[in-house]
Amino acid sequence: MHRFAFLVHPLDLKRDVARKYPFVKFLPSSWVEAMLWRMRPKLLGKVTGVRSSTGAEAEGWLIAVPMTAKMMLENEARALELLVEACQMAEDLGAEIVGLGAFTAIVGNGGIELQKRSPLPVTTGNSYTTWTALEATKLAAELMGIDWENATAAVVGATGSIGRACAYFLSHGAKIANQIRFSPVSKVILVGRDKRRLSALKDELAVDSSAETQITTEIAEGLRDADVVITVTSAMDAIIEPEHLKSGCVVCDVARPRDVSERVHKERDDVLVIDGGIVEVPGEPRWEFSIGLPDKLTLACVAETMLLALDGRLEPFTLGRDIRPERILEIAAIAAKHGFKLAGLRSFERQLSEEQIRQVRERAKQVALGGRNRGAGTGGLG
């Protein structure tokens, strides 16, 4: 049996820290942040019961790095120091590979600098996260009645590692073992902050692509006509608001912290927002510390680390900002081999039923008949 470790950090200053220390709910945020600055990495608990359909087993540990995304951006040198310490802790526990969660996968050039100092191989999990985001988006589009091959897709955060990989598959389609998993869409809109980098990406995607590609640095412009949206930025706060979205569209929010505003959940019952990168783990997984999901489910970045342990691939599988398409297809094949699969569709951390999705689709039809577009909904999914 191979063993893994996975590094997490608080996304919400008080809510996530309170999972370990309930008393912080009663403290001012400034006190909680000051407390984190004085802490070192901490073992949260063990993960057991991960069992592949092949019979292979794996177990691991969750280790917390006591910094929010904001703190990491303010002091990347300290963040990297704590990540190295966490990897050393993982080695002492018996782990053979380390996965990086949320902003720990961004610090140090997408894990590259950490790998130079870590005693264990590290992986960001971005390859499997990309694949599951695409799978979930395609499934949601089908359930919403969107004609995929004639759809307009927008990628927000297109020049990041996951964003550019998603843009590639949206414009080129994907095959595993010569079997088409999905076709390219009709148009891909690349949304980002740096026009020069967007232009370079557009030129890269143009090679052997049948999809029309456009670029913009304005979110409102990029999302105005989008039938499907995949958003994965490193923004600290929500950047997608109700007025940005076309009625009947699908939005896959891969970012943590979230890119999609809570207002969308509350005000737009005519759009379908789904959480990106949630998968079902084979076996009977048990978590000594909950990451906020049912025991059978986990984030795709965690799943990639589990998969590499199950498969004996103790290597830095995904690092840096440029994920090769063949690497994404490889981890997708490994996931299929071991029985990992997309965990249906979830929205704002709640499982979506077929009836809820049908209601969103029907509401979008009503809005279309009424001749309205953005800001049309009267309430969220509840």
Distance of CA 52 to the CA centre of its chain: 23
Share of the chain above pLDDT 70, in %: 96
Cis peptide leading into residue 257 (ω within 30°)? yes
Could you please state the CATH topology (level 3) that the domain comprising 130-277+346-369 is classified under.
Rossmann fold (3.40.50)
Cα distance between residue 316 and residue 235, in whole Å: 26
Instruction: Residue 94: name the closest of 68, 61, 130 by CA.
Output: 61
Cα distance between residue 57 and residue 286, in whole Å: 13
Question: Sorting pLDDT into bands at 50, 70 and 90, what band is 338?
Answer: very high
> What are the structure tokens assigned to 303, written together?
């799943």
264 φ/ψ angles, rounded to the nearest 5 degrees: -65, -45
Alpha helices by DSSP H, the chain: 13-20, 29-37, 69-74, 76-93, 107-110, 112-117, 126-143, 161-172, 195-205, 219-223, 262-267, 300-310, 325-338, 354-369
Residues in CB range of 362: below 8 A, 6 or more apart: none
Cα distance between residue 64 and residue 10, in whole Å: 8
Question: Sorting pLDDT into bands at 50, 70 and 90, what band is 372?
Answer: low
How much is the pLDDT for 382? 45
**Which of 17-21, 58-62, 88-92, 143-147 shows the lowest mean pLDDT across its residues?**
17-21
In tens, the pLDDT along 39-72 reads 999 999 999 999 999 999 999 999 999 999 999 9
**pLDDT greater than 60 at residue 112:** yes
Q: pTM of the entire structure?
A: 0.92
**pLDDT greater than 60 at residue 232:** yes
Helix (H, G, I), strand (E, B) or coil at 228: strand
> What are the structure tokens assigned to 280, written together?
């079902």
Dihedral sign, CA of 258, 261, 267, 269?
Answer: negative
Alpha helices by DSSP H, 112-235: 112-117, 126-143, 161-172, 195-205, 219-223
How much is the pLDDT for 312? 98
How much is the pLDDT for 179? 66
**pLDDT greater than 50 at residue 255:** yes
- Any idea where the domains of the chain sit in the sequence? 2-127+279-342, 130-277+346-369
Dihedral sign, CA of 35, 40, 41, 43?
Answer: negative
How much is the pLDDT for 370? 80
Residues 123 and 100 sit within 8 Å (Cβ to Cβ): yes
**Average pLDDT, rounded, for the chain:** 93
**pLDDT greater than 80 at residue 371:** no
How much is the pLDDT for 236? 84
Distance of CA 263 to the CA centre of its chain: 20
Question: Sorting pLDDT into bands at 50, 70 and 90, what band is 333?
Answer: very high
| DSSP class of 148 | G
Residue scoring higher pLDDT (20 or 303): 303
Residues in CB range of 203: below 8 A, 6 or more apart: none
Intra-chain end-to-end CA distance of the chain, in Å: 42
**pLDDT greater than 70 at residue 205:** yes
Residue with tokens 């963040």: 79
Cα distance between residue 195 and residue 159, in whole Å: 10
**pLDDT greater than 80 at residue 374:** no
- How open is the CA angle 337-341-346, to the nearest 5 degrees? 170
Question: Sorting pLDDT into bands at 50, 70 and 90, what band is 11?
Answer: confident
> What are the structure tokens assigned to 82, written together?
């704590």
| DSSP class of 288 | S
Average pLDDT over residues 358-363: 96
Residue with tokens 């995904």: 318
Residues 201 and 209 sit within 8 Å (Cβ to Cβ): no
> What are the structure tokens assigned to 25, written together?
């709910």
Cα distance between residue 325 and residue 358, in whole Å: 33
